[in-house]
C-alpha cells in the first residue's frame, strides 16, 4: 500500500477526451501532452467553453475552470471521470435540456 501523503493537496479533476486522459490538481495539469497544452492555453486566455450545456470560463485555479480548460479541445467528446461533488452538482443543476 502506498504511503499516505503528509502534505494535503486540493481536489483533483480528471477528464477523458477521445480516449486521452488528463488531470488537474491545485493549478497543475498532467496527462496527455496535446490535451494539456490546449488546456493551459485556454486557461491563460480565459476561454469560454460550452460543456454539458453549461457555460464555463476556463482557468487553472478552480476545479470547474480546469475542467472547462481540459474540455476545450473537444467539449462534446469530454467525459469527466473525477470531480468534486460541488462541480457535479453544478452540472446537474445547469443542464439546459433533456
Which residues would be at the binding site for another protein (CB under 8 A)?
Answer: 5-10, 12-16, 18-32, 47-48, 50, 52, 72-83, 85, 87-88, 91-93, 95-98
Minimum distance, C-beta of residue 43 to another protein, in the bound complex (Å): 13
Q: What angle do CA 24, 26, 28 make, to 5 degrees?
A: 50
**For another protein, the closer CB: 1 or 97:** 97
Q: What angle do CA 46, 49, 55 make, to 5 degrees?
A: 105
**For another protein, the closer CB: 1 or 19:** 19
**45 Cβ partners below 8 Å, 6+ apart?**
58
Q: State the Cα torsion 70-72-74-75 to the nearest 10°.
A: 90
**For another protein, the closer CB: 37 or 48:** 48
Minimum distance, C-beta of residue 29 to another protein, in the bound complex (Å): 6
> And the C-alpha cell for 80?
469527466
Minimum distance, C-beta of residue 4 to another protein, in the bound complex (Å): 11
Amino acid at each position: 500500500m502506498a504511503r499516505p501523503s503528509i502534505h494535503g493537496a486540493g481536489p483533483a479533476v480528471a477528464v477523458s477526451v477521445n480516449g486521452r486522459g488528463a488531470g488537474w490538481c491545485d493549478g497543475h495539469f498532467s496527462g496527455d501532452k496535446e490535451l494539456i497544452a490546449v488546456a493551459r492555453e485556454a486557461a491563460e486566455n480565459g476561454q469560454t467553453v460550452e460543456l454539458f450545456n453549461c457555460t464555463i470560463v476556463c482557468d487553472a485555479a478552480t476545479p470547474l475552470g480546469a475542467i472547462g480548460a481540459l474540455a476545450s479541445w473537444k467539449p462534446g467528446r469530454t467525459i469527466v471521470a473525477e470531480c468534486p461533488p460541488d462541480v457535479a452538482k453544478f452540472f446537474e443543476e445547469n443542464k439546459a435540456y433533456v
